[in-house]
């Protein structure tokens, strides 16, 4: 009879054999437990108790210290984020360019003065008749000093005129006549027959504070072109002028270097504030060309205003 082979319940302990009495489930649990890190040992009871007593006793100071540290941290963080960076030359150039593009350049002193005096400057023409037509024989300049139409100019601008015509700032034209003269200063005072409704007289200013180097402008009709403006400075005071043929000597004149030519005569010499300090009357020229070489003369406004009987000084 064939016998059944019997196997022993114990197995040979090989190198990979499980420990005796371990099941598959228990082996899995053991492996998982081996992977979990061990918890740190709990502090001794005495240390915990001491910390609790310390924190309870000093709770308020600790709270203040913690709040202060938090505040300092916030301020430091904000400062580091908002602190301005150092400007570079490129930043400065960019800012300047941006400003120039957005902001118009301010007007010059001469431009401001011209805008102020322009409504008070008039064109003075000597008018003659040829073949029953009016013909302009000479041209000069004048300045209005009263709303009624009183105008200052030079005698040589109107001398020998058959008729005098004045053209105002707004284009209005009127005949005018001489009401008084002051030959020693080459000054004539005109009165027009009609005046514009919005006629604006010039503001007159004493020459007492005038100094060489002060900015001035001359406004007139040089060679009939105008109104024209030129700018310069006061070159000197209390100058004398002798006409080319020695027929006339003018004294106590303002010397200036703003360009003046024939046609500027009788026009105002104006400060940077737009106020009249003189009446342009002559230019110095060593030639016969009658062109400007850098030296002009004006009668002080004190003399000119006195000729009109309206001196405010």
Three-state DSSP state, 231: strand
CA distance 223 to 261: 7
What's the rounded Cα separation, in Å, for the pair 215 and 270? Answer: 9
Does the N-terminal peptide bond of residue 227 adopt cis geometry, omega within 30 degrees of 0? Answer: yes
CA dist 214 and 110 (Å) reads 12
Annotated active-site residue in 165, 185, 186, 228: 186
Structure-token pair, residue 251: 């004294």
Instruction: Mark whether 186 is an active-site residue.
Output: yes
Select which of 120, 231, 235, 265 is catalytic. Answer: 265
* 177 belongs to the catalytic site: no
- 21 Rama class: left (phi>0) / alpha (psi -120 to 50) / beta: left
Residue tagged active-site, from 109, 156, 273, 311: 156
Upper half-sphere CA count for residue 307 (Cβ side, 13 Å): 28
61, 65, 77, 193, 255 from 73: Cα distances, Å: 18, 12, 6, 86, 73
Active site residues: 156, 186, 265
């Amino acid at each position: 009879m064939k016998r059944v082979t019997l196997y022993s319940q114990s197995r040979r302990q090989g190198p990979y054999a499980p420990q005796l009495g371990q099941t598959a489930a228990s082996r899995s649990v053991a492996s998982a437990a081996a992977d979990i890190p061990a918890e740190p040992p709990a502090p001794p009871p005495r240390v915990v108790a001491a910390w609790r007593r310390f924190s309870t006793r000093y709770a308020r100071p600790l709270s203040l210290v913690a709040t202060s540290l938090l505040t300092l941290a916030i301020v430091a963080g904000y400062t580091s984020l908002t602190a301005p960076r150092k400007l570079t030359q490129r930043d400065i150039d960019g800012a300047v360019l941006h400003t120039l593009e957005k902001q118009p350049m301010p007007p010059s002193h001469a431009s401001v003065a011209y805008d102020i005096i322009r409504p008070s400057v008039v064109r003075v023409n000597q008018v003659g008749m040829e073949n029953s037509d009016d013909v302009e024989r000479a041209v000069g300049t004048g300045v209005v000093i009263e709303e009624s139409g009183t105008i200052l100019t030079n005698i040589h601008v109107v001398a020998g005129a058959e008729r005098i015509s004045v053209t105002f700032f707004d284009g209005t034209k009127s005949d005018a006549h001489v009401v008084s003269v002051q030959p020693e200063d080459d000054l004539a005072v005109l009165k027009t027959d009609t005046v514009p409704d919005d006629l604006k007289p010039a503001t007159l200013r004493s020459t007492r504070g005038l100094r060489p180097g002060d900015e001035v402008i001359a406004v007139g009709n040089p060679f009939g072109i105008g109104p024209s403006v030129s700018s310069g400075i006061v070159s000197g005071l209390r100058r004398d002028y002798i006409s080319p043929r020695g027929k006339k000597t003018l004294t106590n004149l303002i010397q200036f270097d703003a360009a003046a030519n024939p046609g500027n005569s009788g026009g105002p010499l104006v400060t940077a504030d737009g106020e009249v300090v003189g009446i342009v009357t002559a230019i110095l020229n060593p030639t016969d060309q009658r062109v400007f070489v850098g030296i002009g003369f004006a009668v002080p406004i004190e003399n000119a205003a006195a000729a009109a009987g309206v001196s405010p000084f």
